[in-house]
Amino acid sequence: MKRIMMIAAGIIIMATLTTVLAKDTTMSVQIRKGSLRTTPTFLGSVVGNVEYGEKLIIDETRGEWLKATSQSSHRMGWIHNSAVTKKDIKMQAGDKTAEVAASSGELALAGKGFNSDVEAAFKSKNADIDFTWVDKMEKIKIEPEAMLEFIRKGLIAPKAGAK
């Protein structure tokens, strides 16, 4: 009985530590463009935008949402955890970069592997493959106001607090 309680206590402590550790952790933005919002929901108004590789200091965690401050703009707001990574995203790879980060094992090299150069090479090898409509469809972005109106009028009811 005492053993079970010790294990349970251990698990609770570990879970707490995980939450506490998240505060003041530095994360990198892993998407092209993201937003810091006033509330932990995609319909919350935008405090500021963040870009690929930008460093954020985590202040608070609430479910899948993180409250963070941008190291560069100093703006603070909520961002979904799928937009960020613990990996240190290096935008400019120098020769020393890989060695230094290899010791922590937490490096992501932006623009390495499959990147815009590879796409360009792919295009020249495959002249019959056309990216025109791929570029066009990528530009279709519905504004939050339009989404809110759509939701309101259609009596769709996203659950409060969830996403």
Exactly one of 2, 3, 74, 153 binds another protein (CB under 8 A); which one?
153
Exactly one of 30, 61, 67, 68 binds another protein (CB under 8 A); which one?
30
- 28 and 85 Cβ atoms separated by less than 8 Å: yes
Interaction of residue 128 with another protein, rule CB under 8 A: yes
Which amino acid is it at 48? G
Alpha helices, DSSP H only, in 73-128? 95-102, 116-125
> Which residues ranging from 72 to 91 are in contact with another protein (CB under 8 A)?
80, 82-83
Strand (E) or helix (H) holding 26: strand 26-29
Nearest-angstrom CA–CA distance, 105 and 102:
5
Nearest-angstrom CA–CA distance, 84 and 91:
15
Exactly one of 4, 14, 127, 137 binds another protein (CB under 8 A); which one?
137
Strand (E) or helix (H) holding 36: strand 33-37
Report the residue number, 17 or 150, with the smaller CB distance to another protein: 150
Interaction of residue 23 with another protein, rule CB under 8 A: no
Report the residue number, 16 or 26, with the smaller CB distance to another protein: 26
For 140, the token pair is 């279709």
Size of the site for another protein (CB under 8 A): 62
Q: What is the smallest separation between the CB atom of 50 and another protein, expressed in angstroms? A: 11
86 sits in the region (left: phi over 0; alpha: psi -120 to 50; else beta) called alpha
Contact positions toward another protein, by CB under 8 A? 30-32, 34, 42, 52, 80, 82-83, 93-95, 97-99, 101-103, 105-119, 121-122, 125-126, 128-131, 133-134, 136-138, 140-142, 146-147, 150-151, 153-159, 162-163
